[in-house]
Amino acid sequence: MPHLILTDARVRALKARKSTYHVRDAQLRGFGVRVLPSGTKRFFLHSQHRGQRSWSIVGDANALPVAEARSRALLMLARLRGDAPVDVPAFEAVAESVFRRYARVWKPRTLYVNRSYYRSTLAPWFAGRPVADINRQEVERWFASLRGTPVSADRSMPVLSVILTEAERMGHRPEGSNPCRGIRRYRRKGRERYLSDEEMRRLGARLSAHDGDWPLQVAVVRLLLLTGCRHGEVLTLRWADYREGRLFLRDSKSGPRTVWLSGPARNVLDAIERKGPWVFPARRGSGPAKPEWLRHFWHRVREEAELPDVRLHDLRHAHASFALRQGESVLAIARLLGHRAPSTTLKYTHSADAMVREAAEVVGEALGG
């Protein structure tokens, strides 16, 4: 195993090989960098105390400066030998406390996503750090290191904030010391996609063409357009949830809610044969249909309708923007979509504005000619 004084330039120059290899630091015994075949690099600390060997990950070598990683390794050694206070827990210990506590609050999907971001963006940088030592400058450096993946950065920041707030609640940080407050998120171009009248006609024609061979998938897409529900809400519908001309969703992103159905939406549901508890049962087993069952059909239909960039979630946007064009208030549309705050619905006004601009251009060209 080679030894050399690690610097940022030398770490960057390390190339991936067919197998994992390690480079030890000549300046701090036991400290080094591990290079994986995937190109991932991690600082490590290999030490021995009272006859026991220990191997710890210090941080992500692709993001963490060598000097800071070496300082962390020194502190970890001091704590291991009893030369530093041990009453302040490490970042990962508080993080686990958060995930245990919020498992009762976060939905399973939210918990899964937050854990994924923790493992991919937070643990490689902050693991091994005493939670009380994490300051504003360090959080800003971490956030800046993710500028190439702004979605990951923006989704990880709230997770980090919750962990540091939990540290305050546990008494490991001063109250009000959360360094995440006030850090501006990355601006990303909105992904809202609305459908023009012509696009709606093309989509409707392709759905009608598949009524005979893909009846249930066609019904799902029509319900997405007619209700503005999320596709997960429609796929997991039970017949017991459909009564009195309404859908009584047991769970949604904003909690249980009632969806008022129009006549066409009721017609779609009433035309489906009831073969069990689920409106859209899985092909195998006793549960509801899987997202992949619908996604395959949707990719085919959108290509046929020449709508390659339209996602299933954009059908929800189409429902909202159409309601806005028909003069419905933002408050009413918020109720239709199940938004907790009407302010969430305001983003759909941009779609309506774009439609108005497009119509103005069409009218202008026609009259001007």
Asked whether residue 174 is assigned to any structural domain, the reply reads: no
Asked whether residue 187 is assigned to any structural domain, the reply reads: no
Residue owning tokens 């030998």: 81
Count other C-beta atoms under 10 Å from residue 85's C-beta.
10
pLDDT of residue 255: 66
Asked whether residue 99 is assigned to any structural domain, the reply reads: no
pLDDT of residue 74: 78
Same domain, 201 and 152: no
Strand 41-49, strand 246-249: pairing: unpaired
Nearest to 2 by CA among 28, 27, 22, 30: 22
Asked whether residue 44 is assigned to any structural domain, the reply reads: yes
CATH number of 238's domain = 1.10.443.10
Asked whether residue 277 is assigned to any structural domain, the reply reads: yes
Contact 345, 337 (CB under 8 A): yes
What are 74-97's pLDDT values in tens digits?
777 776 766 544 456 789 889 998
Asked whether residue 175 is assigned to any structural domain, the reply reads: no
Same domain, 313 and 259: yes
CATH number of 10's domain = 3.30.160.390
Nearest to 200 by CA among 179, 178, 226, 220: 226
Same domain, 306 and 349: yes
Same domain, 214 and 362: yes
Nearest to 245 by CA among 260, 234, 232, 230: 260
- Prediction pTM value: 0.52
pLDDT of residue 176: 82
Same domain, 123 and 72: no
Asked whether residue 14 is assigned to any structural domain, the reply reads: yes
pLDDT of residue 335: 53
> Which segments of the chain have a pLDDT < 70?
1-2, 49-51, 79, 81-88, 187-192, 251-255, 317, 319-369
Asked whether residue 10 is assigned to any structural domain, the reply reads: yes
What are 111-126's pLDDT values in tens digits?
889 999 999 999 989 9
Same domain, 108 and 220: no
Host H or E run for residue 352: helix 348-368
Domain boundaries, position 135 = 104-169
Same domain, 257 and 335: yes
Look at the chain and report how many structural domains it folds into.
Answer: 3
